[in-house]
Structure 1
């Protein structure tokens, strides 16, 4: 698995889903003007940008372990305080923020509970901590057709269904273990249009995340077999993909 990729590659692969998800997440949580807010695992800035548009650039901070992604946020949002750092060791003092967010990152934390505890630490008492993760285990995430096609060809392939928070209710369990309370769980669904199979397929070749790493490790014959299996599941004509994420908000 790798996110040591260009911001543009991540944007082509997951940005098509993370951008509308960010808009839905901000609308669902309605951060208040006057708050200071942190975006943990910000990537190239999908959620960061929506938070900044909602409450102002200078009210938002962001952190990510990828220099390429932090650089992309700096270029996109020069007034946002974007820093290098890991969720499990956030570079901020206790109770710095009124709210903290983690979009599509809990399942990639080395220690999800430690990461959520850090988010709790840097959020002021009573403030909300919010995270969302794709429903990979339930088969309604954005990569469901891809992994179903892969498993038809390679039943032992390491799909993403076992990652932290990707099954219904597990994200709530992680929040509770991290010491957050007054938990509110929901599901957010976004719909993305694709003009062709090729538009859908080509970003899998960019080496982004577990899916990209899996594809990058295939030889020519195996890649052709996976592509054929995907092609049988995905229309050639314009089509839509619905993608659902589990979302939890807890209080410090």
Structure 2
């Protein structure tokens, strides 16, 4: 299996970072965290969610943590006003109960032990703090990826195991809810966040897949050029292209929210 690659911030932004920003703009107000809170953004990537917190939540502070130094370089350049540190979701550089809101965008499903990661989110949350995350609905609602993987399966059935829809059963409402409840969080709620993803042309849609960042682009980069071209042509046939050449799709994320109990059970 080709590894997921996460090290080039600009390429990631073009692929899904720009869409994550739109999800974050709906996610942050939904959390209803009071102004003046201390936030930690786990798996912050290029800073999409961190930026939304700064813009919408009037925080006292925001710390973004990510294992990719390349992503953090982009985040530091794009999101002044936040602090960023290299770190893992499994061992956050944050003290016990030091955060009033602990959040994660598009990251929790990539952690090898999701239950341990959520336990770590809970550890750094103060009593009464919000612990929340969002992930793509890879199996159904993330249309830009669904069209790609459907076309790839026709051209290269051997690559089907890399499809995030099959790889990440966590990214559905019931598993997310169970994960949060198992971590001892209360008032657990899951909701969908749907955003439009509009591409001006087919090249606008396709070129981010050539950037090598993430599962689909990383897989594509391992293929010989003729196989890449065959997948490109199969994708083009599947997409709903308007008369002006534009392509309008929808991206759905699942968001989960819970509250750190005053006393751990």
What TM-score bracket applies, with the shorter chain setting the length?
A: over 0.9
* Partner in structure 2 of residue 66 of structure 1: 68
Q: Answer yes or no: is the 8 Å Cα contact 2:36–2:60 preserved in 1.
A: no
Alignment of 1:180-195 (within 5 A): 180-195=185-200
Q: Which string of whole-angstrom CA distances, capped at 9 and with x for unpartnered residues, describes residues 86-121 of structure 1?
A: 111101000111111111101111211111111101
Q: Which string of whole-angstrom CA distances, capped at 9 and with x for unpartnered residues, describes residues 181-223 of structure 1?
A: 2211111101121111111001101101111111011112211
Matched, 1:250 2:258: yes
d(CA) in 2 for partners of 1:180, 1:204: 37
Describe the shift of the 1:138–1:4 C-alpha distance in structure 2 as closer, same or farther (beyond 3 A). Answer: closer
Q: How many residues align?
A: 252
* Partner in structure 1 of residue 163 of structure 2: 159
Q: Which string of whole-angstrom CA distances, capped at 9 and with x for unpartnered residues, describes residues 12-51 of structure 1?
A: 1112311111111113223321111111111111110010
Matched, 1:145 2:147: yes
Give the deviation of 1:139 after TM superposition: 4.5
Q: Answer yes or no: is the 8 Å Cα contact 1:136–1:160 preserved in 2.
A: yes
d(CA) in 2 for partners of 1:48, 1:16: 13
Of 171, 178, 184, the residue aligned with 1:179 is 184
d(CA) in 2 for partners of 1:209, 1:172: 25
d(CA) in 2 for partners of 1:51, 1:212: 28
Q: Which string of whole-angstrom CA distances, capped at 9 and with x for unpartnered residues, describes residues 117-162 of structure 1?
A: 1110101112111111111123445411111111122233220012
Q: Answer yes or no: is the 8 Å Cα contact 2:37–2:60 preserved in 1.
A: no
Of 93, 103, 106, the residue aligned with 2:105 is 103
Q: Which runs of 5+ in 1 are unaligned?
A: none
Matched, 1:53 2:55: yes
Q: Answer yes or no: is the 8 Å Cα contact 2:139–2:146 preserved in 1.
A: no
* Partner in structure 2 of residue 18 of structure 1: 20
SS of the residue 1:207 aligns to: coil
Q: Answer yes or no: is the 8 Å Cα contact 2:36–2:59 preserved in 1.
A: no
* Partner in structure 2 of residue 8 of structure 1: 10
Describe the shift of the 1:164–1:29 C-alpha distance in structure 2 as closer, same or farther (beyond 3 A). Answer: same
TM-score, L = length of structure 1: 0.94
Give the deviation of 1:172 after TM superposition: 1.2
Give the deviation of 1:54 after TM superposition: 2.1
